[in-house]
Amino acid sequence: MIRPMRWLVCLLTLLSAQTARAAPPPVWDDWRAFDDAFIDVQGRVIDWTERARTVSEGQAYALFFALVANDRKRFAQILDWTEKNLAYGDLRQNLPAWHWGARDDGSWGIVDANPASDADLWLAYTLIEAGRLWKQPDYRATGRALLAQIAAREVVRMPGGPYLLLPGPQGFVGDDNSVRINPSYYMPLQLAALQNEDPQGPWLRLLRDYVALLPQIAPLGRVPDWTLWRTDRIVVDPKTGGVGSYDAIRAYLWAGLAPINNPHAQQMRVALLGFHDLVVELKRAPEKWTTGNSGVGGEAPPGFYAALLPYLLTVSDPDSYQRARARLAASRVDGLYGKPARYYDQVLTLFGKGYVDGRYRFDAHGRVIPSWQ
């Protein structure tokens, strides 16, 4: 039970965050630092710690941040590079390849052509939202065309069972018709917004089925990076053994970004409370965990603390929230987070810290409301 004084502290923390969302500073320093360090003049997002590769996820996230920053020029550059280099020149006809970088023969180009559905969803969603916010119908049309491809190629319905989001069109359905899924690819508000945009689509059904499966996916509230649907139930992924880490941390981020009264997010937050208990017990975030009662360890990178900020607000834990903020702040070097500054830590920071700092929020329908609107 939370004591009355702690409720007061929680309320003040939430009100402080809401006040920040009302009037953030005019310049988004974290976005500018990320842009300078990780995006080239063409609009390619570069993961320097992974052989200077580019992944479709990075392009999609950067496109969203450019929209939140009202940076139309950068948005157009990121979109143009993505379309020309990952989607064979036409995003309305082709889902983008996942991995672009150095090939074994020394050339540069597409390394893995299999699309990644989380990137595809973020691209579609952001283009639709850019069309709405900037009154650019071409962006919305491209987003809707992407959405149709995702529905056709990356969503499956199991016989007598749930709708599932394939991580990509190829390689995730087994010979026994089992399906390997990544729980962090499901962003509740995004799916709700896409259902409003495409009422005949599978988006709300995907969301409802995911929320219903979450107690099986994370029985102790600890989300794994990967899990498996087999026959009629969720089972531990045999390849990863139920380990959660760099992928799974996003599940807590997405749950925290939703309005307090969002019903699907409420169900998610209840299902995920076991992870909050773990953070409270450790007084820090672990780098790795398992869906069982073992395998917890490692030092979380700074991005994990940024990702947890919205989540810790929604579960009314100001102590853990302040510890996470302090750890993140202590990791800041020359405008970036971590040493060395890694692409993924900056992305999680732009999402998590950007949200609690008031750069953006979402309405009840999942539409993004940037601070500049």
Q: Is 57 a catalytic residue?
A: yes
Instruction: Tell me the torsion sign for CA atoms 50, 347, 138, 24.
Output: negative
DSSP 12-51: HHHHHHHHHHHS--SS-HHHHHHHHHHB-TTS-B-BTTTT
Which amino acid is residue 201, in one-letter code? Answer: G
CA–CA separation, 182 and 253 (whole Å)? 15
* Catalytic position from the list 83, 118, 247, 317: 118
- Catalytic residue, candidates 30, 35, 57, 129: 57
Closest CA to 47 of 59, 65, 63: 59
53 DSSP assignment: B
With H, G, I as helix, E, B as strand and everything else as coil, classify residue 272: coil
For 268-271, the CB contacts below 8 A with 24+ separation are 268/188, 268/211, 268/214, 269/311, 269/314, 269/315, 271/211, 271/214, 271/215, 271/218, 271/221
Beta strand spans in the chain (E): 54-55, 99-102, 108-112, 155-157, 163-165, 179-181, 227-230, 233-236, 243-244, 286-290, 297-299, 332-333, 336-337, 360-362, 368-370
The residue count for the chain: 373
| Contact between 147 and 201 (Cβ < 8 Å) | yes
CB 183 within 8 A of CB 237: no
* 118 is a catalytic site residue: yes
Q: Which residue numbers are catalytic?
A: 57, 118
